[in-house]
Structure 1
Amino acid sequence: MVYECLPASLDVLIIEDVSSSIMKSDYQKMKDFILNIVKGLDISQKSNNVAFLSFAKAAKVSFYLNAHYNNTRILTAIESHHGEGGGSNISSALKLSASDVFTDNNGDRADADNIVLLFTDGMYKDKSSLQHDLEVLKARAEVYVVTVGSIVSNTTLAEMATSPEYLLKLGDPLTTNKINSVLSPCKI
């Protein structure tokens, strides 16, 4: 018997750490990896939707899930975004993801699985609301953490990923394979 894969719909949020702790060379590797991921996605209103958020001392949504419905527009929007440096406030990114990105008004679909790809080194200072913000986001989405750079805070990052196997390393071939398989699921 032959089984056909019917692609499942995904709402994918890419979160990019643009703080000063990310070295320029690592930032470029991260950006190239993100662009390659998006190039391989089937993006349309009915299949996969993508949102993009960055953070340093504060988090900013560059575009929501319902802003662009083709790869070219998303790639252009991501390419035009640049690192800004400054502090690292991961908590603001987690909070904004749950409160502002994964909402009906901004394109979150009930029939699509929510996936977060968080690219960071895990260095941050404000830990006060991190756990709460993380719990709220994990209730709405599966969180994959891709570590960036050679100096990372693995203890913190392991807590951020929904599951231990969701903690990945930029530059590791297994990371590419894992992300590609996560973003190409089949309906059951």
Structure 2
Amino acid sequence: ADQLPGHRGGSCCRFLCFPQQLLPLITMKPLALVLLSLLFCLSQAGVNKHRPRSAAARGQNETTVQNKANPCKAVPLDFVFVIDSSRSIRPNDYEKVKTFIVNLIQFLEIGPDATRVGLLQYGSVVQPEFSLNTFTSKAEVEQAVRNMRHLATGTMTGLAIKYAMETSFTEEDGARAAHLHIPRIAVIVTDGRPQDTVEQVAAQARQAGIQIFAIGVGRVDMNTLKTIGSEPHSEHVHLVANFSQIETLISVFHSKLCGGSETCELVDHQCQHTCVSSPASYRCKCREGFILNPDGKTCKAEDLCAEVDHGCHHFCASLADGYECRCRPGYQLNLDLRTCSKTNHCADGAHGCEQEFVNTEGSCVCKCRTGFVLRPDGKTCKKVDPCADGNHGCEQDFTSTEDSCVCRCRAGFTLRPDGRTCQSESDRPPHHGGRVLYQMGGRRQSVPT
């Protein structure tokens, strides 16, 4: 039989392999020899198939996500890690965080035109390790992560978020221009309560378009994490019991960022109506009858009134599905749906006025005839007392008539010609042949009675 290249410790024919121990059996019957050799070769193949690879073949002794069988289809990202490096994190736990970062980036395609990765760690101060434009390959990022040194100081989480927003995600530090709509992702890992305020600065970062994943380890207040993370919190806020469990989040990020996830699902797009994903970006779209505002996010109704000859008598109002004519207050739209006529609010007879009514611009108003005033109910009338206002000027008594107030004098007095004052009858001038004598200016004058 021919010897196969590289085979040692046995003999091989072109189709069957058997060890040297079986060579003496070559005198056996041919059929038995064939069966025995075949069984031996199959058993050896099974052993080789299930034999684990050596540590040297595996490479580094750590869990690393490999994606050759299931490549990630993540869109390009601007991805920044914000790592708590406070003194409360033990050295071996700090190494677990570094391993977590290395494993997480395994399923990302890193490059200038793909995903860019930056990292900063913080304690009492912020220490940027590398920016989004520092490295262009995954190997460079991995090496930089492994070379990180523990700060072991305070926990100024708010300061770190502020730095990420104002520096890490700027074009100067490698973030791509906002109009390209590259999702901006920040992953914050912390194990303690912040020593500064985070609510306001985290809200500002989210408003700036940064999608924040908040990962808490150990006894971290969940409400604080929710204050930091984006919504929905079920997808962006995660709490694990210890640093050994942080590896369980790798699958969470893999399903979120990979598997053909749409860009609209990865970013806080703030589209008022609809977000439309594209292979590496997204765009906002408005519903029918609306157009996109210059901000690229909000929508406004199309101004059809400016584009058509609407023929509206008063006003034209654009709607989502067209336009309509409207009238000024006090007017109503006619049956032609274009012209307007003054509204007669009294026409239906439901005004309830006792005497008279007047149609005004906005309603039907009740009125009373002369000599009457409107009661507080605004509908019924009562007779006016001409003397009630006290302006009659009567010296003694007065009496209300149909339409006026008449002065009267008490017994022994008579009303003077002014109709208001009274004089004693004893003071009246004597009668002379049907004439009354009045003393006028020092001389007497006769006046007919």
Asked if 1:103 is matched to 2:170, the reply is yes
The one-letter code of the counterpart of 1:138 is R
Which structure 1 segments of 5+ residues have no match?
Answer: none
Matches within 5 A, 1:7-22: 7-22=74-89
Question: Normalization by structure 2: what TM-score?
Answer: 0.38
Displacement of 1:6 in angstroms is 6.0
C-alpha deviations, 1:154-184, integer Å up to 9, x for none? 2211211112121113526762222112332
The corresponding residue for 1:142 is 211
How far apart are 1:78 and its partner, in Å?
Answer: 0.9
Higher relative contact order (CA 8 A, sep 6+): 1
CA distance in 2 between partners of 1:34 and 1:94 (Å): 18
Q: Distance in 2 between matches of 1:173 and 1:82?
A: 20
Confirm whether residue 153 of structure 1 aligns to residue 227 of structure 2: no
Q: Percent identity?
A: 23
8 Å Cα contact 2:74-2:257 kept in structure 1: no
> Who is 1:181 aligned against?
255
SS at the partner of 2:114? Answer: coil
Q: What count of residue pairs does the alignment treat as equivalent?
A: 181
Larger radius of gyration between Structure 1 and Structure 2: 2
TM-score, normalised to structure 1's length?
Answer: 0.88
- Whether 2:195 is the aligned partner of 1:121: answer no
Q: Deviations over 1:52-107 (max 9, x none)?
A: 01000011211111111100111111110121111110011000000001111111
Instruction: Give me the whole-angstrom Cα distance separating, in 2, the residues matched to 1:123 and 1:15.
Output: 15
Q: State how far apart, in whole Å, the 2-side matches of 1:64 and 1:105 are.
A: 9
More strand by share: 2
Letter in 1 for 2:210: A
Report the alpha carbon displacement of residue 186 of structure 1 after superposing the two structures with TM. Answer: 4.1
Please provide the CA RMSD for this pair: 1.9
Structure 2 gaps, min length 5: 1-71, 264-276, 278-449
Does residue 38 (structure 1) correspond to residue 111 (structure 2)? The answer is no
SS class of match (1:57): coil
The partner residue of 2:158 within 78, 81, 91 is: 91
**Secondary structure, in 3 states, of the residue corresponding to 1:96?**
helix
Decide whether the 8 Å contact of 1:20 with 1:86 is kept in 2.
yes
Q: CA, structure 1 residues 26+152, in 2 after alignment: closer, same or farther (shift >3 Å)?
A: farther
Matches of 1:7 and 1:96 in 2, distance apart?
A: 26
Work out whether 1:131 is the aligned partner of 2:199: yes
User: Which AA in structure 1 matches 2:216?
Assistant: T
CA-to-aligned-CA distance 1:33-59 (integer Å, 9 cap, x gap)? 111012221101111000001000011
- 1:99-144 CA distance string (max 9 Å, x none): 00111111111321001111112422222xx222111211231100
| More displaced 10-residue stretch of structure 1: 136-145 or 92-101 | 136-145
Report if the CA contact (8 A) 1:55-1:88 is conserved: yes
SS where residue 20 of structure 1 aligns?
coil
> Contact between 2:203 and 2:228, CA under 8 Å: does it hold in 1?
no
Range with bigger deviation, 138-147 or 66-75: 138-147
Relative to its length, the structure with more helix (as a share) is 1
Match of 1:47 in 2: 114
CA pair 71-90 structure 1, distance change in 2 beyond 3 A: same
Assess if the C-alpha contact under 8 Å between 2:214 and 2:237 holds in 1: yes
- Report SS of the residue matched to 1:45: coil
1:55–1:89 CA contact under 8 A, matched in 2: yes
The answer to whether the 8 Å contact 1:145/1:167 transfers is yes
Contact 2:100 2:246 in 1 (8 A): no
Contact 1:121 1:153 in 2 (8 A): no
